[in-house]
Every structure is written in structure tokens, then in C-alpha cells.
Homo-oligomer: A and B are copies of this chain.
Amino acid sequence: MAKDKKLVEHITAMDEDFAQWYTDVVRKAELCDYTSVKGCMVFKPAGYAIWELIQKNLDERFKATGVENVYLPMFIPESLLEKEKDHVEGFAPEVAWVTHGGLNELQERLCVRPTSETLFCDFYSKEIESYRDLPKVYNQWCSVVRWEKETRPFLRSREFLWQEGHTAHATAEEAEARTIQMLNVYADFCEDVLAIPVIKGRKTDKEKFAGAEATYTIESLMHDGKALQSGTSHNFGDGFARAFGVQYTDKDNKLQYVHQTSWGMTTRMIGAIIMVHGDDSGLVLPPKVAPTQIMIVPIMQKKEGVLEKAEELRSVLASNFRVKVDDSDKSPGFKFAEQEVKGIPLRVEVGPKDIEAGQAVVVRRDTREKTIVPFDKLSETCEALLAQMHDDMYAKAKAHRDANTHVATNWDEFTDILEKKQGFIKAMWCGEEACETAIKDETGATTRCIPFAQEKLGDVCVHCGKPAKHMVYFGKAY
């Protein structure tokens, strides 16, 4: 029993030190690890399997909207990166440069892609000739590199995995519609699959993507009250098209610039899952992206028939769920602790007494609620419990977010909330970048988004007192 407890003891309590709790969970759940390459991490099987499920689900959603997958090179020649002025200013300071190939110095430096707008523009400038070639709705799954100084597992690392969609359209309206469509795909995915509620809105000009006309975002709230930008969708208008000469001849045989978008979601969502749903015992995985949804733990497994029964149940459940039997030599208590640390949604306990009574004990990871289930009802009960667990996890996360969303109608209230509370602050804002910068400098809080769902909380800016233009979500962010 000492050994059983030890596994859990190593996790720092969330309320004691959230950052340490996060690190402990990442390590104990065996999601990832640092490497000899500074700022880069290894995705271990338990972490990568979550990403595989995220990919599969998102990819199906993309394809249902007409997205096609492609793969473009990981290198960008310096001259290509420099073609769009805002873009290069935003990214050049944080890229990795390849200067030598084999034994020779390159004639032109190549950066390892931090994002691929420039490559897609170059590609589209050759691919697109006529309105018949439009729209192009392409996406790629790949890794990108940004030379960050401070790194944290999943949230910020020098190399991370993501998808980046890049589209080209004949009209501004079509580009805007695609930008919003993909933001909605991300929002639905977060809520329906990851059980994470999100706020949809627009980034301010200060916070938008380098080179974009408009950046839309979904913002979620972590357990510690910090915000996490969870997915972004950018409308570039024809800015990149003009810089790269991406043109098409329309139906009247006139040359026009295309209108472009891009949108991305990254492996930081694994960090979001940890920080939204986790607890002091470890990870709590949303059922739809749990690599193992059900762990069967045989009790007194050396008794005749126990392992056979466990295997029989596994085989029945396997047609509907991702299920395993833990038939290792560890004690049941240790196995329980391990299943909890790893966030496996359901545990099915089955021992000699259960077999005699023709039933198993099913335990939910999130509430630890136990249900006694006759063997012949096990599959349907697990299905209902997993569905309920998803709904409850979502409701809990939403309740936490709502309880940590505050309204500030004046600057005293604003600073008071930051001092005494945590979470989002809704407040009116004048729309001026200087004011936004001042708020950030004075408090560390940034504009998370101008939500689509606007509320009129007052007439003047919470900071400068000038006439208010928008209601904004402010917050401290990862």
C-alpha cells in the first residue's frame, strides 16, 4: 500500500502550486518528456495517442467541409519569407535558420517553417490561373518551429505539431465565410469532443496574426483562471495575394487577386485538456479522445476464472470502446492509482465475488461514482456513463468558467478583480491600441477577444474613460 500511495503523492496539489501540479501530471501520466534538444520535447505514447485521436476527429470535420490534405516543404527561402512585410516582421525574430546543406554553405538561408503562408502563396501563384481553379481549400498536418526562449510542455515548445489550413477564394465574402466556418469547426470540436467550453470572438489589431486583416479566436479558461488561445482563423483579404502575385482570371477574363485564409490548431490542446479537466489525482481525459476509455482491473486475479472473465469482458467491450485489461503483477490499489493518474475515463473492477453475483463495478474517473452493473448490461452502461461523463465534464468546466468571469465597469473594479480573483474580465474598451498596451503594461492582462456575443456594460472605456467601442474579454494568458 505504501507503494500504491507513492504514485499519487508525487503529484503536487493544484491549489498549492498549479505550475508544479501541471508538470507532475505531465510526467506521471507519461505524456511527454524533455530531450537533449533544448526546448524540444518527446511526445510519449500516452501523449501522442491523444494527438492521434484529435487529428482523426478534426480531420474528418475538415474533410466534411471540403478540405483536402497536402504537404509542403519544411523549409522557406529567406527571400520568400520576406515578401510580406508584416509577416516577416512577426516571424523572423523567432525562426531557426539552415545555413549549410551537407558540406556546403547554402547560397540562400532557409528557415524552418514557423507557419506556411509564404509557401502556400508561392504554390498557389503557380497553381491558380482561372476562376475554375478556385476555391483551393488545403490543409497540412506537420510540425513547425519557433525559437521560443521560455518553454512549457505542450503549451510552448520550439517545435510543436499542428495543422494549418490555407485557402484561396475568388471573393472577399467567400474568404470571410470560410474563416468563420473553420472557427466554428474548432469551437464545435472543443465543446463536443474535448468538453472544453470556448468564447468565440475577434482579436484586436494588436493581437492579430502577422499579416492578417482579421484574426478570429476561440478562448478557453484553465483551472487556474488563466486563458488559453485554443484555435485561430485568419482572413488575409488580398494582402498576401498582392505580395505574392496570386491572381486569377475571372469569368469576364479580368485579372483579379485571390482572397486567402489560414487556420490552425496545435498540440497545446493537450495542455488545455490537462488544465481544464485534471485534478489532484492526475489527468482526467475527455472520453472521446481517451486512448484507453475503459481499464478492466481484475481483483484477486490469481483465483480461477478471474482473468478469463476479465478477458471475456474486454472482448465484448472491444467492439464499442478502446479497452484494456491490466493483468500486470501490481496490486489492485496500484492499478487504481495508475488508471487515475493516466485519466482513463472508466474502470471496471471484477473479482471472484462479482463473478459469483454476475456483475462488475464500474467507476467513473471524474466523480469516482461507482455503479454495479450486471455483466449483460456492461456495454450499454459504459456507453451511457461515458456520454454522461462528457456532458458532466463540459458542464463543470463551463460552471468554473462562468464563476470566474467577472464584469469590471471601472478601473478600480478591474484592478481589484485582478488582485483578488482570477479568470476572465469583461469590460468596455475604447478600441485604441495605446490604451490596450497601457492596460497590459500596468496589469499583465491582455485582450483575449472581442466576443461575437457583445454586451453593453457601460458607455466608456474601463481604462481611459473615452467612449467605448467594444466589450472585450481581458485575462492573463498562457
A-to-B contact residues, CB < 8 Å: 33, 35-37, 40-45, 48-49, 51-52, 68-77, 80, 93-103, 110, 112, 119, 122-123, 126-127, 138, 142-143, 145, 147, 158-159, 161
Contact = CB atoms under 8 A, between A and B. Distances in A.
A70 B42 contact: yes
A96 B99 CA distance: 8
Contacts of A69: 45, 48-49, 52
A74 B145 contact: yes
Contacts of A122: 35-36
B159 A73 contact: yes
Contacts of A100: 96-97, 99
A98 B97 contact: yes
Contacts of A99: 97-100
A72 B161 contact: no
A98 B39 CA distance: 15
A33 to B, nearest CB: 7
Contacts of A93: 102-103
Contacts of A102: 93-96, 147
Contact of A42 (B37, B40, B95, B123): B123
30 contacts: A33-B123, A33-B126, A37-B110, A37-B119, A40-B75, A42-B70, A42-B71, A42-B72, A42-B73, A42-B123, A43-B72, A45-B70, A48-B69, A48-B71, A49-B68, A51-B71, A71-B143, A71-B161, A74-B74, A74-B143, A75-B96, A75-B159, A93-B103, A94-B102, A96-B101, A97-B98, A97-B101, A98-B98, A98-B99, A99-B99
A48 B100 CA distance: 29
B147 A101 contact: yes
A119 B97 CA distance: 21
B119 A73 contact: no
A94 B103 CA distance: 7
A48 B40 CA distance: 27
A452 B152 CA distance: 49
